[in-house]
Structures are given as structure tokens and as C-alpha cells.
Structure 1
Amino acid sequence: MFVRKLVEKASKKPSGNSDGLKGSDIEPRLLFHYGIPSGCNMLAYDPIRKILAVSSKDGRIKLFGKDNSQALLESVNAVPSKFLQFVENQGILVNVNSKNHIEIWDIEKNLLADVHAFEEDITSFTVMQHSLYMYVGDSAGNVRVLKLEQEHIVQMKYTVPYSPSHGNPTEETGDTSVTHVLPQPAAESKRVLIIFRDGIISLWDIRESKTVFTAGGNALQSLHHEGKKVTSACWACPFGSKVAVG
């Protein structure tokens, strides 16, 4: 009611009183947002702190916490998110946007702590549980390792190159991008499962820097059928012996 009367008063023409409220004196702007923003495209959840993050296509990120608490994060880049993931129980949210910028958000201060511009097109992103390391897969088929140090991203020298990890140089493929990087359960720091768009599945030994198992690929499919591409994957058991691929 108060807002309506204020707008009505501002819309009236001043009658000689220079001290009257004018329409130009009112500058509406968003001070607080309640609820889920429109155009949501990504979700992330911290099960320890019980915080849900929802990103939208215009670059906003909404946080939902305990006791119906809410917070709105707004980046200078109003672009959609490609990947959104918490560093569990650290108060850190990592957002990878469509410009291949990796944003580090301090959710306790609602502050953008760091932005790392990645050189390649990011096609896969994973934060290792119980650590500050991250795997980034790109469109060229390589996997790079990043580390979070004092809320800033540092790119490590360790890289999983495409040729030895893909392990099928004789097969011609039009899409070499990495779709999933899945640390093996119970051996997260030792082995990682790399899944390529063309269906190749490779279990990579991090310490020995070599492939210990390879499966899948379009070569196993009939020549009379169009090669299928991987769109989703996850571990299907807590021991890392079974994986589901769609």
C-alpha cells in the first residue's frame, strides 16, 4: 500500500511546490530476491552444510540454506553456467560458465574470490571429494589438474594427455572431447575414470601415468549404424568396479 501511494504521488505533476516528490526521484532497483530465479539450469548441493545452489541462464546463483535462509550471487558475466559444484564443507562454490571462466565463490562472505580463465573449451569438471583438487576435461581430449590455494586457482603441471589416455589411435573420431572425469571410489587419489564423447572409457593410473583399462568406442559398434555418443555417466557401486554410461 505504501509503495502504491508513493508511486501515485510521484506521478502527479508538481503544483508550484519545488519540494514535492518527482517521478525522477524514484529509482527502483532489486535489493532482495526471494524464491527460485527464472531460467534455472544447474544445481549443486553441499550435504554437510546442507546448502543448495541454483544457477540461472543470466549468471545469477541463488543459495538456499538452513532456516529458510537465502542469498543471491551475481557475477559480472551474465552468462549461463556449464558446471556448478561445491568444495564440500569449505564454504566454497565453484562455477564454470559458458565463457570457460572458473569462478570461486566464498559463500560465507557472498564474495567472488577468484576467476580463472581456462584456455580450452571445458567439457567436463569434477571436484575431488575431501580435497582441494579439481579435474578439468576439454574438447581436445586432455584432462588438467587444478588446485585451490587460499581461494585462488593454481594450475598444476600434471596433465592427462589425449593420446595415451584414449588408447585408440587407429580409430577415426570426430569428437575427442572428455565428457566425464570420475575419481574411482576408495581410490580417488590413485585412479580416475575418463570417458570420451566417442564412447571410449579409460581407467587412468595417476601415479604411474598410464592406462590400466580401456573399453567401449565406436569400433565396437556395427558399421551399419551411426556411432553413439556418451551424454551421461556415473559409478554404479561404492567400490568403483561398475559404471553406468548413457
Structure 2
Amino acid sequence: MFAKRLLQKAINNSQHNLPRGSLTAEDLDLRVAVHYGIPSTASILAFDPIQRLLAIGTVDGRIKVIGGDGIEGLFISPKQLPYKYIEFLQNQGYLVSILNDNDIQVCWR
């Protein structure tokens, strides 16, 4: 259910910025992963006080985002490397992360 709502939101948001029909399911590369609680391999934290979101980076390339109202999300990097830096761009909806091999990733809401 969560993945379906996330996909619908991504498609609705993209319709404002992209030409109609340009976003397909193949462009998103969605994978369903389920995790409850704090990851046992947590290594770095970031907090956005305005949106009240906590991001937890792990040593195996995952970021768990926890917020109010039971919001939880899990981002999985294609590379299974530790994060050396993560930060929210305050109240912008972006989470910037840097892996140990200096690969920069940007996640958006």
C-alpha cells in the first residue's frame, strides 16, 4: 500500500515538471523493502527540525527516515557502502548523502 501511494505521488509530482507521459515504471526502479525500528547497523544521523524528520544512515548503504504520525521510509543505495555524511536541506524535501567512495546521492520526498 505504501509503495503504491509513493508511486502515485511521484507520478503526480512529476506531471508538473515533465512533459506528459515521459515518466514510466522503468525509470523509477522501485524495490519493496520492509524494516521496522532503528537499523542495527546505524552509523550516522541527520535531523530536520522543521519537518521533524530523522534520517539514519547505515554501514550497508541504507537510509531509514522516521517522522511524526508513524512515517517511516527506507532508501537503499545501489552500492552497499557506509555513509560518511547525510544532511536534510531544511524544509526543502531533499536529503543529501555522501557514501565513503564520494558518491553523492539526493533523495526527495
Query: After TM superposition, is the score higher than 0.5?
Result: yes
Report deviation, 1:88. 0.4
**Match for residue 64 of structure 1 among 63, 66, 88:** 66
Aligned residue number for residue 25 of structure 2: none
2:49 is equivalent to residue 47 of structure 1: yes
Residue aligning to 2:15: none
Q: Which structure 2 residues correspond to residues 1-246 of structure 1 after superposition, within 5 A?
A: 31-106=33-108, 108=109
> How far is 1:40 from its partner?
0.7
RMSD value over aligned CA atoms? 1.1
**Structure 1 runs (4+) greater than 6 angstroms displaced:** none
SS in 1 for 2:101: coil
Shift of 1:68: 2.0
AA in 2 matched with 1:88:
Q
Flag the structure with higher strand content: 1
Whole-Å Cα distance in 2 between the matches of residues 37 and 84 of structure 1?
16
Aligned positions, number:
78
Computing the radius of gyration from Cα coordinates, the structure with the larger value is 1
Distance across 2 between alignment mates of 1:56 and 1:35: 13
Tell me which protein shows more helix as a share of its residues: 2
Gaps of 5+ in 2: 1-31
Counterparts of 1:76 and 1:102 in 2: how far apart (Å)? 12
SS of the aligned residue for 2:85 comes to strand
- Bigger relative CO (Cα 8 Å, ≥ 6 apart): 2
What do the CA deviations read for 1:40-62 (whole angstroms, capped 9, x no partner)?
11000011000000000000000
5+ long unaligned stretches in structure 1? 1-29, 109-246
Identity %: 41
